[in-house]
Amino acid sequence: MYLKIEFDLFTKIVSLHPKKNIMAGNITFTMIKPDGVEANNIGPILAKINQSGFKIVAMKYMKLSAETAGKFYEVHKERPFYGELVSYMSGGPIVAAILQKDNAVAEYRTLIGATDPSKADEGTIRKLFAKSIAANAVHGSDSDENANIESNFFFSQIERF
């Protein structure tokens, strides 16, 4: 009973907060990977993102060190492609961004398409722009929890609006 009242109060406070969409978990984290940048696809990919109703709430252009790329992809460190993935992701500049939309994680995974571009649906970012399963144009978070972890990995509070 008390728990419910406290939860209702919390929900009410969150709904009044100016950053309620971020607090409600309606964000995802993306990178335009080195192949996307190299092929001059930053503009076309950002256009698809905006046309699909995502708002960019943080963004930066940078080159990852092998150490940073290794840390970002730590969950994959036992996978056979980890070494290649880390050297590929640190081999050229990337664009990192936080995107906001209702149901952002799932909506963005739909927009980017399957990891392997040969299996990605028509019209998806990976179908349109990816070169291979490794050089697949963009990253997209796979859960709300990871969206927050990945966003906080790249952006401080004063870099997101």
- For residue 49, which phi and psi values (nearest 5 degrees)? -60, -50
Compare residues 76 and 77 and give the one whose CB is closer to ligand UDP.
76
Compare residues 38 and 142 and give the one whose CB is closer to Mg ion.
142
| Min dist. Cβ of residue 35 to ligand UDP (A) | 9
Strand residues in the chain grouped as ranges (E): 27-32, 55-62, 94-100, 138-140
Binding partner of residue 81 among ligand UDP, Mg ion, none, CB cut-off 5 to 8 Å per kind:
ligand UDP
Compare residues 19 and 91 and give the one whose CB is closer to ligand UDP.
91
Tell which positions 124-143 bind Mg ion, by CB under 5 A.
142
Tell which positions 110-139 bind ligand UDP, by CB under 6 A.
115, 133-134, 136, 139
* Residue 81 near ligand UDP by CB under 6 A: yes
- Known active-site residue 139: yes
Catalytic residue of the set 48, 101, 139, 160: 139
**CA gap 135, 130 in Å, rounded:** 6
**CA gap 26, 46 in Å, rounded:** 18
Kindly report the CA angle at 143 between 47 and 14, in degrees rounded to 5?
90
**CA gap 80, 73 in Å, rounded:** 13
| Residues with catalytic function | 139
**Contacting positions for Mg ion (CB under 5 A):** 142
